[in-house]
Amino acid sequence: MIATVFFYMFAVFLLGSALLVITVRNPVHAVLFLILAFFNAAGLFLIAGAEFLAMNLIIVYVGAVMVLFLFIVMTLDVDFAELRAGMAEYLPVGLFVGLVLVVELIMVFSAWALAPEAMKLRMAPMPKDVTNTEALGRVIYTDYVLYFQLAGVILLVAMIGAIVLSLHHRKDVRRQNIADQVSRRRNEQVALVDVEPGQGLES
Amino acid sequence: MSHLDFTAARPEIALALMAMALLLFGVFRKSRVVDAVNTLALMALAATALLVLFVPGSDRIIAFGGTFIVDAMARVMKILVIFAAGIALVMSVHYMKWERMERFEYAVLMLLSVLGMMVMISSGGLITLYLGLELQSLSLYVLAAMHRESARSAEAGLKYFVLGALASGLFLYGVSLVYGFAGTTTFAGLTQALKSGISIGLIAGLVFILAALAFKISAVPFHMWTPDVYEGAPTPVTAYFAAAPKLAAIAVFVRVLYEAFPHAEEAWRQVIVFMAIASMLLGAFAGVVQSNIKRLLAYSSIGHMGFVLVGLAAGGQEGLRGVMIYLIIYLVMTLGVFAAVIGMRRDGRPVEEIEDFAGLARTNMGLAFAIGALMFSLAGIPWLAGFFAKYFVLLSAVKTGLVALAIIGVLASVVSAFYYLRVVKVMFFDEPKEPVDPAPFELKLITALSVIFVLFYVVWPGPVTALAQAAIRPFIVP
């Protein structure tokens, strides 16, 4: 009973905030609504018993990705109103494409045949003595360790590539050297001078 | 997951660790880092080759739940890929100094691309295959764009990246279809699932996968990127592109077609035959109008891949052995030609236009002779090695009844002879220009060894045939 109430609460907030993400005028508000949507999605995951995914969603998406995104939106001067200017013009075409997709989906799903075991397997209970995290760990680090490690190497190559192609040591750019800044002493940098009135400062 | 799984992947694990160690070494060492990293990278490749040779265990090891296979073909192809990478790395040493693009990451990326190719060659399932493919492609995109002062290099890298990403998308779409209709992604599982009949969805998935792989070997109609990327990328990188990834992709072709989809033979044979004909013809006709040697070699490689596909379409022991012999001979010829092209510089600038080769025979007879011999061999003139490569694949096509395909191959070979021989004509019969700068020793050595191989293959073909025979052993039905 209480789970059902929470399910509908999370679902309604999720859909509502998702809708607001694409309709509000202010891009910062859109990002904030997206964060709200993620929180509600995490709630749904919790109800479904996937606590690891729920926490991941909050830590990774809300904690890291969205904060970064918020920074970008705040620093970039993106005028969403201008981007949305042609909306009325493209609306008929968009609606037509959407309609075609809906008809196609209906056609696909009306001809869909489920495997006889599928419904039963869907109901298969989770083993009681294995937690979510443990099960995921077993899949990632034991069954598919080869895939996991290879994906890691691919990300490493992406990182090396980005650095190789964009890092450029230029001589004419002054870089901050914190050690130099910290080791400055007053008597090397500042001189106290008694200035006589009307005489000015000798350089 | 067992101890044996990691034993099977020992060369790959070692190579990955050595590449990462080299990366750290390069970052933390301050002076003369490039030479040291290049030398260490060569040693790492040699060590990996030794590990490949001595993977303990039976003839055919299946690891990681069927997704990783180490068999005779994997061993032979891995050795060849490592060999090609080593030669390409040696060829880069002076070029990087000349063009002021010395970066230690170059060797590290090359090692990582070799790792990707090794994973591709050993893949026993579509996901392993995809990960290997992506690892090698990503490294190659960066290598192509490595020369930062050259706009053409950046263009080559970007073009290769965008089209490569498209090919990856096609591949994944095909894999999702295959997985949806067969319920498995391992090759052994697919063979099992296909025994009971093939649905149209599986065929569609297979065609998408073949299209993506054809992109990697630059077979027509997925060749568009080849001339631009070959021309724009730094020349040693081009040499590497022309040699190693093609080998790995053909090995994957053999695995996918003969290990995963042997029951869909009628379906994929049409695709392969079409790509073979289109590649041979386009390679022959489009090469005629090229004036840049790197673009010419790009079309040449498209044509050669067409011939390899002929052998693949013919199949069976003779066809596959023809494919392997072709690949070995193609590898040696390509590396030899590129070594000669890299070494040709006039007043410190690369010589890439064919008309600048004019009269080379009178100013530098040795180089002109070497390029001439390699051009004759690429054209398939008897009795050079290139002739036998074509002979074996065409013979296997005739024996399996693909006579029309073989005839088109011979005709395309005649047309392509025109542009190879034009290079020879320009070198030997045109008015000489200024002499070229003397090439460094290692480039001369690579060219010379390649010429010796090409000239004397006819006398002693045994080792190449034995190597090819060893490679195809897993695919011969007893």
- pLDDT tens-digit profile of B224-255? 999 999 999 999 999 999 999 999 999 999 99
Check whether A125 has a pLDDT greater than 70: no
d(CA B152, CA B162): 15
Give the DSSP per-residue string, B78-140.
HHHHHHHHHHHHHHHHHHHHHTT---THHHHHHHHHHHHHHHHHHB-BHHHHHHHHHHHHHHH
* A&B contacts, CB < 8 Å: 61
> For residue A176, what are its two tokens?
């901050």
Judged by a CB distance cut-off of 8 A, whether residue B148 touches chain A is yes
d(CA B443, CA B29): 28
**CB hemisphere CA count around B276 (13 angstroms):** 29
Task: Collect all residues of chain B within an 8 Å Cβ-Cβ radius of residue A155.
Answer: none
Check whether B1 has a pLDDT greater than 60: no
pLDDT tier at A152 (50, 70, 90 boundaries)?
Answer: very high
Own/partner pairs, A62-70, CB within 8 angstroms, 24+ separation: A62/A35, A62/A38, A66/A31, A66/A34, A66/A35, A66/A38, A69/A31, A69/A34, A70/A28, A70/A31, A70/A32
Judged by a CB distance cut-off of 8 A, whether residue B399 touches chain A is no
List residues of A whose CB lies inside 8 A of any B CB: 142-143, 145-147, 149-151, 153-154, 156-158, 160-161, 163-165, 168
Distance from CA of B42 to the nearest CA of A (A): 19
Among B110, B138, B161, B177, the strongest candidate for a mutation testing the A interface, having the largest count of A CBs within 10 A, is B138
Specify the amino acid at residue B23.
L
pLDDT of residue B243: 94
Among B10, B15, B110, B127, the strongest candidate for a mutation testing the A interface, having the largest count of A CBs within 10 A, is B127
Q: Are strands B68-70 and B61-63 parallel, antiparallel or unpaired?
A: antiparallel
Range with the poorest average pLDDT among A62-66, A126-130, B120-124, B342-346:
A126-130
Q: Do A161 and B65 touch (CB under 8 A)?
A: no
Check whether B146 has a pLDDT greater than 80: yes
What are residue B69's DSSP bridge partners? B62
Judged by a CB distance cut-off of 8 A, whether residue B64 touches chain A is yes
Q: Are strands B349-350 and B61-63 parallel, antiparallel or unpaired?
A: unpaired
**Count of CB atoms within 10 A of residue A3's CB?**
10
Q: Do A161 and B9 touch (CB under 8 A)?
A: no
pLDDT tier at B478 (50, 70, 90 boundaries)?
Answer: low
Distance from CA of B203 to the nearest CA of A (A): 19
Q: Model ipTM?
A: 0.92
pLDDT in tens, B4-33: 788 889 999 999 999 999 999 999 987 788
The average pLDDT across A149-174 equals 88
d(CA A118, CA B461): 58
Cβ pair B15, B48 in contact under 8 A: yes
Check whether A123 has a pLDDT greater than 70: no
pLDDT of residue B84: 96
Nearest residue of A to residue B106, measured between CA atoms: A164
Judged by a CB distance cut-off of 8 A, whether residue B307 touches chain A is no
| Mean per-residue pLDDT over chain A, rounded | 85
Q: How many residues does chain B have?
A: 478
What are residue B123's DSSP bridge partners? B68
Nearest residue of A to residue B135, measured between CA atoms: A154
pLDDT in tens, B410-469: 999 999 999 999 999 999 998 888 888 888 999 999 999 999 999 999 999 999 999 999
Check whether B297 has a pLDDT greater than 70: yes
Check whether A112 has a pLDDT greater than 80: no
Q: Is A152 left (phi over 0), alpha (psi -120 to 50) or beta?
A: alpha
Q: Which residue has the tokens 């020793």?
A: B441
Nearest residue of B to residue A168, measured between CA atoms: B148
Give the DSSP per-residue string, B170-200.
HHHHHHHHHHHHHS--BHHHHHHHHTT---H
Q: How much of chain A exceeds pLDDT 70, in percent?
A: 89
